[in-house]
A and B are shown apart, each in its own frame.
Chain A
Amino acid sequence: MLDEDPSALLPEIILAVAAVVALLLGSYLPRERQWPVRLLTFLACAGGLVATVLAWPSPDRTVFGGTYAIDVATNAGRAIVLVAVVLTLGVSAREFRSSPRESELYVLVLLAALGTVLLTGANDLLLLVAAFLLASIPLYAMAGFAKDDTGTEGALKFYLLGALLGITMLAGATVLFGVGGATAYADIAKPLGSAPGVAVAVGFVGVFAGLLFKMGAVPAHFWVPDVTEGTRPPVAAFLTTVPKIGGVIAAYRLVASGMSETAVDWPLLIAIVAAVTMTLGNLAAFFQRNVRRLLAYSTISQVGYLLMAVVVATRSSLALPGLLFYVGAYTVTNLGAFAVVCALPKAPLIDDYRGLVRRRPWLAVSLAVCLLGLVGTPPTAVFVGKLTVFTAAFDGGFAWLVVVAAVNTVASVFYYLRWIAPAMRSTGDTEAPPVDKWAANTAYVATIASVALGPLAGVALGALHGDLALF
């Protein structure tokens, strides 16, 4: 029997309605007074968060003919995306205030967030593709939002790669539909188990390619550095964080529900993708002098660690809580690091951070904490995320992947230190650089959250335990 209870989708509905209202509101408000749109976006996120928290304890289920799952993964995805949007509001408030298309930016943010949330809950190949499109198209427009050369170039690259991999994804879904006879994960899991392996593998790789693009994982990572460097910093913060949330959770759901019974050795495939992604991201980050490019490669390497949980999706009970916690921890910490970058708009290069601790001590401390957090230094949240994900991978029989990840973590210390070290040195002139107050305060909030989440991990991980809703 079909469960068509719209109230189950309250957070999604709030986001959709807010996007429409924001568009209308933006077209009636005078250009230099568009703060109500910002407020509306914030209220939508707050409302969505409340609805998510209220829905958390209710039992797992699927709605609308099994196409959309409401379970711990969806709820966690909703919460993380909404928090990420709030933090994005913080870093972009000053930069885009009274810009001619301020309200459009927030409409795009809301729509992309909605698409990302749908990705986390999609329990059906067709819905997955639809969510992919909804989560991607607004981002293309956001990437080129400033209408400058670098942004346009990045957006074009982003769009072309996205269009290509979107098509690949659709083709993959078609093949899987062909051999599985259905599109809902619950219905294809069994047929795919007895379907010809090559066809299933082709279909799986096609669908998975689209998700890799969303995450910014190798080999679909080319857009990440260009877009991150080319677009406006607040947009870069959003683009390197939020799509990943949808990408990894959707990948997890795909392999744990839809592909659970196939003979295709997808764990090995994903393990290789994870290993290559983290290694390549790290190596490329080594000698970057531009801080946004460095962060871009760092986010690529982080996806590699995140994918480790997807590898062992069906082999370890720690995989799901580990993944969800890590995604949350990564979101807060990465946005914290980006917030520091946004707070210092006149400092695009590592050299510009020399002596920051003298001039802006708290920003320097936030930067150090967030970057060390990205390394996985305890007791920050990312450490607990890494610990659980590593443990899950070890548990699932991928000890070699854990060793690769550990070696990569050590390598990553090097380039994070290349940034922290000059920032914490007390030399250089003492003239304070201009600071974006909004972004700075956002950086402090994110930093505190990324540290506090670590000791609170017990509670958080407890809430993230659970199974995926299949039927």
Chain B
Amino acid sequence: MLSVVVFLPLAAAVVLFAVPRVSARFARWWWVGVSAVEFALIVALWVAAPVSDGYVYEVNLRWIPSVSSGYHIGVDGLSLPLIALTGGLFLACAVYSLRQDKRVRSFAALFLFLETVSLGLFVALDLILFFVFFDLSIVAMYFVIAGWGHRDAARAAVKFFLYTFVGSLALLVGFIALYLSAAPHTFDIVELTRQNPLAGSGWAAGLILLALGVGFAIKTPTVPFHTWLPPAHTEAPAAGSAILAGVLLKMGTYGFVRIAMPILPEAWRRYALVFVIVGVVSVVYGALVALAQRDFKRMIAYTSVNHMGYIVLAVGAAGLVADSAVKARQLAVTGAVTQMVSHGLITGALFLLAGVLYERGGTYDLDRYGGLARTAPRFAGLTAVAAFASLGLPGFSGFIAEFQIFTGSLGAAPVATIVAFLGILITAALFLRAFQKVFLGPSQSAPAADLTVPEAVSITPLLVLTVVIGIFPRFLLDAIEPVSRSVLTLLAR
């Protein structure tokens, strides 16, 4: 069942390619239809999930037995919200791209392929399987940026590929080291978590954590590994940016919580302070650089660095043993996972809105716009909602996430957490400023058309969801909380 969910988009992509002469119209609707079915399936999975502590819908087949690597997949409270986010964002992108007219068939096929890859990564319970999907996500996104990006897309795509590929190879080295340190050797995440193979081995565990940390930090991205992100985001097509920020960035933080923390608890605790510091620096640096941007899309890209920094801060704080209550650290982990979902929804929406802006004015330069609210009120309204959601106003999912992160981290890392508070202030300032410039004030450009139906239909549900999570977060937290409890238990070993 889970395998069907993972590979359905891929099958749909193959169909799209195999049928010889499909019209662009058919390709668009096929893409939307498949994404809708896929999203419905994921929701059904969530609703029907049997309540249990471990993994559900688990499948474990032999794949490469000579290196003890198997096709092992399953979901728990950590991966369920993320695959739901993935399904939702891909559906939104499919709807948004209904107006797409440049090589629609390949575009749709590529996105369907990317959807399979992303889902596969979040359900993989085997390091090699995880790595396969991790690498394929890079390849697919490379073609999205190179094929459909604008302006300087080729360079940005190469930079993106090289940079994240470095990360993936660091990961591979770390994975091989983990494999060899386990007895018997295995790539199975569940088995490795159970074994805790590097307990008591000082520097080896530290080196492996360094390899994994670099790999995931590049993908996340945190300062100082973030430099690939702004060009990749600005040159990618709107739907590509939304997926890149909404789904692909989560692969890094997901890796921290799924692989690094449970398998290397001792090393994680020892070096937790490093993650706290990297997190805080990302928060403040990302916000400050975002403040300095004149380009709307670059600004959102840097706020991603800021928002992902909160997650790194939280998972780092969870590892600090400094006499903070278990309860608080648990709150930090829950907040981190909630932030992954929340950031995916909000940034996805923001990037799609940026795409709308580009469509109207042909540029992302904030100075070239003004007074758009008069001619495009719905556009202005949705952007306002997204901006307020992003700066973490109560009533939105971002507030729930950040509140938990701060409350959870404060006890463990008080100074860092207080510094990170500044990040919220700065993002508030920059979003208000940008909004003011583009939508209020005197009109600067030709009157722009308001949102079209596909645009509105794709962006609105994302923002509705952040409000729903912001007001009724229980359904999400109920899924996440058992996992953060068990992550902390594993971490305490």
Contacts and interface: CB of A to CB of B under 8 A. Distances in A.
Contacts of A394: 173, 176-177, 180
A442 to B, nearest CB: 21
A402 B252 CA distance: 23
A238 B145 CA distance: 36
Interface in B135-152: 135-136, 139, 142-143, 146-147
Nearest to B148: A426
A413 B139 contact: no
Nearest to A378: B132
Contact of A425 (B154, B161, B180): B154
Interface in B31-63: 62-63
Contact of A421 (B67, B135, B146, B166): B146
B227 to A, nearest CB: 16
B170 A406 contact: yes
Interface centre among B67, B161, B165 (most CB of A within 10 A): B67
Interface stretch (A90-98, A290-298, A457-465): A457-465
Contact of B66 (A402, A410, A462): A462
Interface residues of B, number: 32
Contacts of B64: 384, 457-458, 461
Contact of A455 (B63, B166, B169, B172): B63
A387 interface: yes
B346 to A, nearest CB: 31
Interface in A332-384: 372, 377-379, 383-384
A406 B172 contact: yes
A318 B66 CA distance: 8
A391 B179 contact: yes
Interface centre among B131, B142, B172 (most CB of A within 10 A): B172
A413 to B, nearest CB: 5
A204 interface: no
B136 A377 contact: yes
The prevalent SS among residues of B at the interface is helix
A366 to B, nearest CB: 14
A395 interface: yes
B139 A377 contact: yes
Interface in A412-471: 413-414, 417, 421, 424-426, 455, 457-458, 461-462, 465
A37 B70 CA distance: 45
A268 interface: no
A378 B139 CA distance: 10
A403 interface: yes
A409 interface: yes
B97 to A, nearest CB: 17
Contacts of A388: 66-67
B146 A409 contact: no
19 contacts: A318-B66, A377-B136, A377-B139, A388-B67, A390-B176, A391-B176, A394-B173, A394-B177, A395-B180, A402-B173, A406-B169, A406-B173, A410-B165, A417-B142, A417-B158, A425-B146, A457-B63, A458-B65, A465-B66
Top 7 A-B pairs, shortest CB-CB distance = A378-B132, A406-B169, A461-B66, A458-B64, A410-B166, A457-B64, A394-B176
Interface of A: 318, 321, 372, 377-379, 383-384, 387-388, 390-391, 394-395, 399, 402-403, 406-407, 409-410, 413-414, 417, 421, 424-426, 455, 457-458, 461-462, 465
Interface of B: 62-67, 103, 128, 131-132, 135-136, 139, 142-143, 146-147, 154, 157-158, 161-162, 165-166, 169-170, 172-173, 176-177, 179-180
